[in-house]
Homo-oligomer: A and B are copies of this chain.
């Protein structure tokens, strides 16, 4: 099966990192193509960034329709342009936020989403409404670190993920933690072990669910919300 992973930002470092991580966990019968989105912002941290990323990302998806991809993964936790991508594509399209939140809701009573800074909290809460999962939400909690800080300071990042996850468990009743930023991914296993809960890396979760859905031969319903636009 051929899966196109689109990193909706333009960062080649992040794309390379994503390729390494996903290649490490993909099935042997999975062919991965991992690409950045030229023309998109280097990081997606606002509704403006989402809009800016969506247009070149949709170009990639239109081009992909003429190629031989069985599925497309949008690998940014904002799920930018997910609905539009599903309209345009003839293939299965998954966003890493929607997919990982559903898996989180399957594996525990309530989940907490970790985000970077407090300014991102309301946008995450809106996204959880967009996916109709607010009844499973324990909380959205910020690390208090920017994308740049997360990349530059691994120890401080690890410390913060551990500290904030513990607060989510103790004060909000979280049973599952969703790491709402690519830079947080590497720290999942340690926190999981230490706190005795589940910690999800959305990109990894989505690749695996994508392989599963391709085995089943399903894609998004093309009747209704994701119908192919007439023109």
Contacts and interface: CB of A to CB of B under 8 A. Distances in A.
Interface of A: 25, 27, 45-52, 54-55, 58, 81, 83-84, 86-88, 94, 98-99, 102-103, 105-110, 119, 121-123, 125-126, 129-136, 169, 173, 175-176, 195-198, 200, 204-205, 208-209, 211-213, 215-216, 218-227, 229-230
9 contacts: A27-B215, A45-B229, A48-B88, A51-B51, A83-B123, A102-B105, A129-B132, A196-B222, A197-B222
A185 to B, nearest CB: 12
Chain A at the B interface: SS class: helix
A119 B225 CA distance: 7
A55 to B, nearest CB: 5
Contacts of A99: 106
A48 B83 CA distance: 8
A25 B175 contact: no
Contacts of A219: 107, 198
| A87, A122, A229 pick with most chain B CB within 10 angstroms | A122
Given A218-B198, A219-B198, A110 B130 contact: no
Contacts of A208: 212-213, 215-216
A198 B220 contact: yes
A83 to B, nearest CB: 4
A221 B52 contact: no
A221 B198 contact: yes
A70 B47 CA distance: 22
Nearest to A25: B215
A81 B81 CA distance: 11
A119 B224 contact: yes
Contact of A47 (B83, B125, B169, B195): B83
A41 to B, nearest CB: 8
